[in-house]
Amino acid sequence: MTGADGGYILSDHNEYIPDVGYISKERLPELPEREVPVPPDLAVEVVSPTDSKEAVKQKARKYLISGTRMVWIVYPDNRTVAVCRLNKENVLNITTLDTTGTLDGGDVLPGFRLEIRDIFPD
C-alpha cells in the first residue's frame, strides 16, 4: 500500500501518484524505494474542489487501460465514491455509491468492505 508520495509507472509517458495505491504481494513481493514499476491493483483518488470531474474520470480510465483493476474516486463535497472498472469493450463503467452504500474490494481486495458513511462521518 502506498500513500500520496508513492508513484506508479503506468507506461513510458505516464507516472501517477494516487492518494492511496494498493498492489498485491503476488505482483510485487517487495516495494521498491522509488516508483513502483507497474500499475497498482487499486488506485484511490480524492477529488479536490479544483479538480475537473471529467479529468478525474480520464485519469481513472488511464489507470484501468494500463492494468489497474479498480479505481475508487472519492468526492468529499457530495459524500460519494465512484467505483470505476473497464468492461470487456474497454468502456469505463462507473458505479456511484452514496452514504447508504458499501465499498466492496471484490476480486482486488477479497473480503474488504467499508460503509461509505464511515468515510464521511457527520
Q: What is the pLDDT of residue 11?
A: 64
How far is CA 87 from each of CA 11, 33, 38, 76, 120, rounded to the nearest angstrom? 21, 33, 21, 26, 29
Is the domain spanning 8-119 CATH 1.10.10.10? The answer is: no
The span from the CA of 67 to the CA of 120, in Å, is 29
DSSP bridge pairs for 101: none
| Residue bearing the bigger pLDDT, 103 or 121 | 103
Banded model confidence at residue 6, pLDDT cuts 50, 70, 90:
low
Q: What is the pLDDT of residue 2?
A: 54
DSSP bridge pairs for 73: 45, 82
pLDDT tens digits for 87-114?
989 899 999 999 999 999 999 999 999 9
Q: What is the pLDDT of residue 42?
A: 94
The span from the CA of 22 to the CA of 1, in Å, is 4
Domain residues of the chain, as ranges?
8-119
Q: Does residue 95 sit in helix, strand or coil?
A: strand
Q: What is the pLDDT of residue 34?
A: 67
pTM for this structure?
0.86
pLDDT tens digits for 12-65?
677 777 888 888 888 876 766 666 677 889 999 999 989 998 999 999 999 999
Q: What is the pLDDT of residue 110?
A: 93
C-alpha cell at 16: 501517477
